[in-house]
């Protein structure tokens, strides 16, 4: 359903917010992007997957945090990972502690489905724990996150 629209205004198959779509289109060099293109299947998938990759890169490759960022915005999982000295947690435990019900459920479903699809595609059993890794405070030695990521 390409013209799907959420109650908060996210559109299309990838459920992208208009401002996020515009930002991502600019970031990936999609020239001439207009808001009505968000319901075009190919454009929507291009923007949604590009944004997810930008979030994944920004959050150190953490699939759990990227899924949370896709649903609730990147600032929230950044703060949920804790400050310096906070414990390092298995990503599955971190996901169980996401304070928003919708985002917590979303992250768990995305991560579970990712593992199931990987098993189907590779023909090999997958370990959710191994795929997800751990989440803890940001390593201060790493560059600052992309603050303009919406």
Helix, strand, or coil (residue 51): helix
| 35-49, 76-90, 131-145: the lowest-pLDDT one | 131-145
State mean pLDDT over 84-94: 91
Residue 73: pLDDT over 80: yes
The answer to pTM > 0.95 is no
Residue 143: pLDDT over 80: no
Residue 37: pLDDT over 80: yes
Neighbours of 12 (CB within 10 A): 22
Q: Which residues of 87-105 are buried (b: 16+ CB within 10 A; e: fewer)?
A: eebebbebbeebeeeebbe
- Position 84 scores a pLDDT of 82
Residue 34: pLDDT over 90: yes
- Position 135 scores a pLDDT of 95
| 51-55, 73-77, 110-114, 142-146: the lowest-pLDDT one | 142-146
């Amino acid at each position: 359903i390409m013209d799907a629209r959420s109650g908060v205004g996210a559109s299309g198959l990838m459920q992208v917010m208009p401002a996020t779509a515009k930002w991502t289109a600019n970031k990936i060099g999609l020239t001439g992007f207009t808001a009505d293109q968000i319901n075009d299947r190919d454009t929507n998938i291009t923007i949604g997957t590009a944004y997810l990759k930008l979030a994944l890169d920004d959050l150190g490759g953490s699939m759990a945090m990227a899924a949370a960022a896709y649903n609730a915005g990147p600032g929230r999982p950044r703060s949920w990972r804790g400050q310096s000295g906070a414990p390092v947690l298995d990503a599955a435990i971190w996901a169980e502690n996401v304070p928003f019900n919708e985002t917590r459920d979303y992250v768990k479903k995305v991560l579970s489905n990712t593992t199931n699809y990987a098993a189907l595609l590779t023909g090999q059993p997958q370990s959710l724990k191994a795929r997800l890794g751990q989440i803890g405070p940001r390593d201060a030695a790493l560059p600052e996150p992309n603050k303009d990521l919406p």
